[in-house]
Amino acid sequence: MIISTGTLDSLITPIMNKLAISGPLMPRIGVLCVLLLAIILFCKKYFSKGEIKLWLKKSYSLFVMIFPKVVGGIFVCGCLAAMINLTDYMIYFDDNNVLGNILIALIAALMYFGTIVGVTIVSTLHDFGMHGGPAMTLLLAGPAISLPSVLALIPIVGVKKALSFLLAVILFSTISGFVFGLTF
């Protein structure tokens, strides 16, 4: 997070300039190198080679599994924003009202998207006029629950508890989004 936001750029830039390394990304690359070195030293001190190899294999498999979905989600979101006139549907979500928040919570509870893709989707919808309240509701309800997760929960905890969880997510994300919309 520190690297991507440029929080430490003002502290690192003078050091990088003294080392005759310049450019807009150099402070972030410097921090990345320091963090990478810290991880390497930590791993060598506290973990065996087998554990490190297992960790790297698992990290790589997670990257291969997640990264295409993130890129695909961002691509699909961009294509939909270009093809569909989203402003036609924003009449339901352009104001912070309880009905709009409930509707977006229901939609989000039936959809399935992770947090990273959800942020991109909400950003696109916000650019097309979605109010901050329903946007927050979508951000809260989307990653919290989905139809596949409810269907997977039913055999484990039962229909009553699974539907209670679904309704609780819808209710609390609606309330949180509505209060957020009133506050900000």
Share of the chain above pLDDT 70, in %: 91
Mean pLDDT of 166-180: 97
Give yes or no: residues 38 and 95 share one domain.
Answer: no
Nearest to 101 by CA among 168, 179, 163, 167: 179
Residue 121's CB: how many other CB atoms inside 10 A?
Answer: 22
Long-range CB pairs of 22-28 (<8 Å, 24+ gap) are: 28/3, 28/4
Using CA atoms, how far residue 110 sits from 27, 32, 79, 135, 166, in Å, is 42, 38, 22, 16, 10
- Structural domain count of the chain: 2
Q: Are 81 and 128 in contact (CB under 8 A)?
A: yes
Clarify whether residues 113 and 176 are in a common domain. yes
Q: Are residues 103 and 179 in the same domain?
A: yes
Domain boundary among 48, 76, 104: 76
CA gap 98, 87 in Å, rounded: 20
166 and 136 within one domain:
yes
Q: How confident is the model at residue 98 (pLDDT cuts 50, 70, 90)?
A: very high
> How do residues 102-154 score in pLDDT, each as one tens digit?
999 998 888 877 777 788 888 888 888 999 999 999 999 998 988 888 888 88
174 in the same domain as 93: yes
Is 119 found in the same domain as 61?
A: no
- Can you give the pLDDT at residue 71? 79
Nearest to 122 by CA among 149, 95, 104: 104
End residue of a domain, out of 59, 76, 93: 76
Residues 72 and 102 in one domain: no
Residues 66 and 99 in one domain: no
Domain identity same for 102 and 43: no
Can you give the residue range of the structural domain that contains 93?
82-183
Q: What is the pLDDT of residue 3?
A: 56
2 has pLDDT over 60? no
**Domain end among 56, 76, 96:** 76
Is the domain of 70 the same as that of 86? no
- Whether residue 62 is found in the same domain as residue 128: no
| Interhelix angle 26-46/9-18, nearest 10 degrees | 90
Q: Do 135 and 158 reside in the same domain of the chain?
A: yes
pLDDT digits (tens, 9 = 90+) for 33-47: 889 999 999 999 999
